[in-house]
Amino acid sequence: MPTDPINSYTVTVGTATTPIVGMSADAQIAVVQNQQPTNEPDDYAREGLLFLVAQTFTVNSPGTASFGFTTGANGAQIDFYEIISTVENVSARLVEGATVSTTGAAIPVYNLNRNYSDTITSELKSATAVSGGSAISQEYVTADKHAAGGGSTSGKVHTLKPSTTYALQFINDGNQTTKVFFQMGFAEKYNGQNDVWLGGSVGDGLRLRGGQSMQLPMIQGQTLSAVASEDNQVGVLRQD
């Protein structure tokens, strides 16, 4: 008994409305899948979208160590971070809206998937001065000079504004110099940037989040288009 072949292909969907299922002379069934990762750090890391930056530094007493984190045009999303202090309690804060003076080269950043590039648009640099702004997130790291230090690990998600410099400050609350280790994982393509919208405009129509799929029975002559805020891959299976 003859059967109609199943066609499989991938389409890049971007800011322009893109046809993903063409017209057929017969009724057809189409399966559409958003091939971008889900909005989870583990999936970001596997797909080469999660980056890690780490630094070890000394904070005098009294004293503050500061860094400037400048986001790219798409912003950035901090998915996790860790702070460890050796001998003194440390107050850490993320400051938005501050005037930040940075110095030196950008601190190296590495893709957690070593099969992908380390190239990013954000950068983290040492800061020589920070003034103004609001502390939008804070942590308090307790350490015991008679023990093995103290640390704090957090999975709090911070979605940062595009093209903005944030200050990261680490304040020594004790009376001795302490050494601090800091690392954070962040993504530059995240949340809705991985979504695909079936229809003609972003935010209007049926949304497929990363990894989601749907099956569509289509009558003769129907077509289907999609759009996204960033270039995303969509997989299609169709049978006439």
pLDDT tens, N- to C-terminus, the chain (240 residues): 456 678 899 999 999 999 999 888 788 889 999 999 998 899 999 999 999 999 999 999 999 999 999 999 999 999 999 999 999 999 999 999 999 999 999 999 999 999 999 999 999 999 999 999 999 999 999 986 544 455 667 888 999 999 999 999 999 999 999 999 999 999 999 878 999 999 888 988 899 999 999 998 998 889 999 999 999 999 999 876
Walk across the sheet containing 204-208 and list its strands. Answer: 18-21, 224-227, 196-201, 204-208
Predicted local confidence at residue 146, as pLDDT: 45
Predicted local confidence at residue 27, as pLDDT: 86
Walk across the sheet containing 6-13 and list its strands. Answer: 6-13, 232-239, 28-34, 213-218
Contact 204/210 with Cβ under 8 angstroms? no
Alpha-carbon distance 40 to 191, whole Å?
9
The number of angstroms, rounded, from the C-alpha of 177 to the middle of its chain's C-alpha atoms is 34
Q: pTM of the prediction?
A: 0.85
Alpha-carbon distance 145 to 130, whole Å?
29
Tell me the one-letter amino acid at 164: T
DSSP state of 41: H
User: What domains are defined for the chain?
Assistant: 6-36+195-239 (2.60.120.770), 53-187 (2.60.120.680)
What backbone torsions phi and psi does residue 148 show, to the nearest 5 degrees?
A: -110, 30
Contact 89/175 with Cβ under 8 angstroms? no
Alpha-carbon distance 52 to 185, whole Å?
5
Tell me the one-letter amino acid at 154: S
Predicted local confidence at residue 240, as pLDDT: 65
Tell me the one-letter amino acid at 48: G
Q: Please tell me the total number of residues recorded for the chain in this structure.
A: 240
Alpha-carbon distance 91 to 33, whole Å?
45
The number of angstroms, rounded, from the C-alpha of 192 to the middle of its chain's C-alpha atoms is 11
| Count of helix runs (H) and strand runs (E) in the chain | 1, 20
Beta strand 28-34 with 213-218 is antiparallel
From the list 90, 57, 78, 89, the residue with the least C-alpha distance to 188 is 78
Alpha-carbon distance 17 to 42, whole Å?
30
Burial zone of 210 (CB within 10 Å; 0-12 exposed, 13-18 middle, 19+ buried): buried
